[in-house]
Structure 1
């Protein structure tokens, strides 16, 4: 094992873990493999992440947080609530399609990891529905949307569009008519929110 000249950080470990997961898959990836990529002992990895499960949860959270961060800009963009809602749903769908299409091996790996890491997934879903609730609440405040409970409405919108962001539907995202179906669902939801 060659010594590394860079300081070992949690971020470097997560990057290496992602590389190892891509190469070996979740069933065969080990902390020793991660350490080997980094040129350190596996004990050095364990100083940052006390167990393999904690490391896998952290890499899962990092992956999910990328989507949340990308969508947060849509929540605060200077546009009317309807445009922001449409943009947010489109950005979520595009991000999920990109992840599934650009790196299918890693996407499959993360499907396994998200099942293992329910707490990280729950936090991610809460963040996403919180972003939606903010947009819907802004729409209510602007008298554009009718929603007596913006949080419940956000959860309903999220569930209604699940086919376009739930990884279980990833195979359908490559169909030629999926964009038309997505737009039809979003139009229906927006009409409903206008009351």
Structure 2
């Protein structure tokens, strides 16, 4: 590939391939450059260092969740249904990633764990979507809450066990299914649904 035709997307594709081939600890900028047929200096014009490239890989991977979540947001449904489907879509997206490619998922989990700030922007966007659902529910009278953003933060953290990579080993257990439903019922009560 010519260095002048190098794109961030092609760099991220190559970085994922290198991570898959060499593993997290052994992958470096030279491996990515070699896969692209460019000098490693060309990569530094797009990413200042290996940490920045890793963060971009994680952000792109996590950004894939916004397609199924956006589809839920676009649905015409009661707020309780929309909230449940949104939480379920987030959970299912993460579970499918873990099932379909456990090795790469493990690398992503490690990248998230060691990359400071990797989740901040992602979590903020998720919280904004949740707040929107809760605000609409409060406006319609389906939910009773004074601060939709605070409620969204509480709901997000209450469901962390069902979508955060640190809990992936628990996701396909019967206890996880029952736990999800139990937290959902508690959430409905906390939001004053049906009050």
RMSD between aligned alpha carbons?
A: 1.8
After superposing on structure 2, the runs of 4+ consecutive aligned residues of structure 1 that deviate more than 4 Å are 3-6
Partner of 1:130: 128
Shift of 1:172: 0.8
2:161 to 153, 160, 163: 163
Unpaired runs of 5+ residues, structure 2, are: none
Partner of 1:191: 189
The CA deviation string for residues 76-134 of structure 1, in whole angstroms up to 9 with x for no partner, is 32212111101000001101111111111111111121123332311111111111110
1-side partners of 2:115 and 2:145: how far apart?
Answer: 32
Say whether residues 1:20 and 2:27 are aligned partners. no
1:63-78 to structure 2, matched below 5 A, reads 63-78=61-76
Say whether residues 1:52 and 2:58 are aligned partners. no
> When the two structures are aligned, how many residues end up with a matched partner?
193
Please say if residues 75 and 134 of structure 1, whose CA atoms lie closer than 8 Å, have aligned partners that are also in contact: no
Shift of 1:155: 0.7
TM-score between both structures, scaled by the size of structure 1: 0.91
Unpaired runs of 5+ residues, structure 1, are: none
Shift of 1:180: 3.2
Partner of 1:32: 30
Partner of 1:121: 119
